[in-house]
Amino acid sequence: MAWMVAGRKWRAMRRRPIELKRGGRYVTRMLFWFSKVFWVVVAPGNVMAILIGLGVLLMWTPWKRLGRRLATLGAIGLIAIAVLPFGTWLARPLENRFPVTELPVEVDGIIVLGGATSIGLSTNRGQPSVNAGGERLIRFAELGRHYPNARLVFSGGTGKLNPGEVREADIARDVLKQMGFDVSRVKFESSSRNIYENARDARELFGPLPDETWLLIMSAMYMPRSIGVFREAEWRVVPVPVDYRTTSGPGWGYGFNLTRKGEAFSVALREWVGLIAYRILGRTDAFLPGPEEWGG
């Protein structure tokens, strides 16, 4: 099965497009590239590996003492990551920020953000493949059936530095078809690469009115940043958090598992870094957006 990116005509906007307060789309592209390269260097597992590798190399030079210290520091860091639930400590406050609430009786639209499918696997295997965020699409289809008159939007292109022709919107369309959902009801935005561009591009294409009520479906960990971006864009949305990765209670999950805990730590830490960066860049109206700041 092949996915083709459908050509789109940009509709006249009902309001000025959302842009960075300190630059335009060129700056946005540069920041996107920088964020990808930056995280390769500062990801916790990579930092520990660099410390160990550099330390071992220095042991064969006159700086043996420094090499031993760096290698020891890296090894201790890896053991700490494997034992302590850093990922849970960081993710739980984010996932608990927006509790599940009763949804409105009527809504004007529903938007789900990308990140629920695997472009690489889908292209390689020739069939649509979802990842750990697949619950976003399940909830989207469920609410789409519950609100038959709501406008439906999927926003997601690709977060790859060297994107191919296939976009996440193309894969999501086929996943929804396999679920028996009427995709003719859904408008697909396929150019965005991150949460900021999700809100910007979707608004430019579909222009929600100020008095409309929309549901925003997103993984719970990313909901605070998503709400902050949409709030800054003056797009009123009701959060629908899904795809929880932590429990709401005090269970911490101690034990030795470097692979699982390392990934959880990296994902959660990256989200906190994203919250800081988005606030500095003026993409959100608060460092940690919350429901009490939304004003209803």
| CATH number for the domain harbouring residue 134 | 3.40.50.620
Do the Cβ atoms of 226 and 55 come closer than 8 Å? no
Cα angle 202, 167, 131 (rounded to 5 degrees) comes to: 100
Q: Is residue 154 part of a domain?
A: yes
The edge-to-edge listing of strands for the beta sheet with 109-113 is 186-189, 151-155, 109-113, 214-219, 237-242
Strands (E), the chain: 109-113, 151-155, 186-189, 214-219, 237-242
pLDDT at 145: 96
In a domain, 143, yes or no: yes
Cα separation, 18 vs 24, whole angstroms: 9
Q: Identify the CA nearest to 115 among candidates 157, 66, 73, 67.
A: 157
Phi/psi for 165 (5° steps) reads -80, -25
Q: Is residue 289 part of a domain?
A: no
What stretch of H or E contains 175? helix 168-178
Residue 296 lies in a domain: no
How many Å apart are CA 282 and CA 271, to the nearest integer?
A: 16
Consecutive sets of 10 residues in the chain, 296 residues long: mean pLDDT of each? 35 38 54 64 87 94 93 95 92 94 93 88 87 92 96 82 74 93 93 87 84 94 95 91 87 78 92 92 89 54
Q: Are 98 and 215 in contact (CB under 8 A)?
A: no
With 0-12 / 13-18 / 19 or more C-beta atoms within 10 angstroms meaning exposed / middle / buried, residue 249 is exposed
- Where on the phi/psi map is residue 126: left (φ > 0), alpha (ψ -120 to 50), or beta? left
Helices (H) and strands (E) in the chain, counts: 10, 5
Q: Residue 140: how many CA atoms within 13 Å on its side-chain side? A: 34
Give the chain's domain count. 1
Residue 182 inside a domain? The answer is yes
Domain residues for the domain of 124 are 103-244
Cross-strand partners of 157: none
Give residue 54's pLDDT.
94
CA-to-CA distance for 120 and 177, rounded, in angstroms?
20
* Cα–Cα nearest to 5, from 124, 178, 158: 158
Distances (CA, A) of 104 to 169, 252, 278: 27, 34, 29
Q: Does any domain span residue 41?
A: no
Q: Which residues of 131-169 are buried (b: 16+ CB within 10 A; e: fewer)?
A: eebbbbbbbbbebbeebeebbbbbbbbbbeeeeeebbbb
Token couple for 136: 């976003």
pTM: 0.82
Instruction: Please tell me the distance from the alpha carbon of residue 89 to that of residue 72, in angstroms, as a whole number.
Output: 25
Residue 59 three-state SS: coil
pLDDT at residue number 16: 39
Is position 264 within any domain?
no
The tokens describing 55, both together, are 């330390």
Is residue 253, in this structure, part of any structural domain at all? no
**Token representation of residue 238:** 């009701």
CA 296 – CA 77 distance, rounded (Å): 43
pLDDT of residue 181: 95
- CA atoms of 276 and 224, how far apart (whole Å): 12
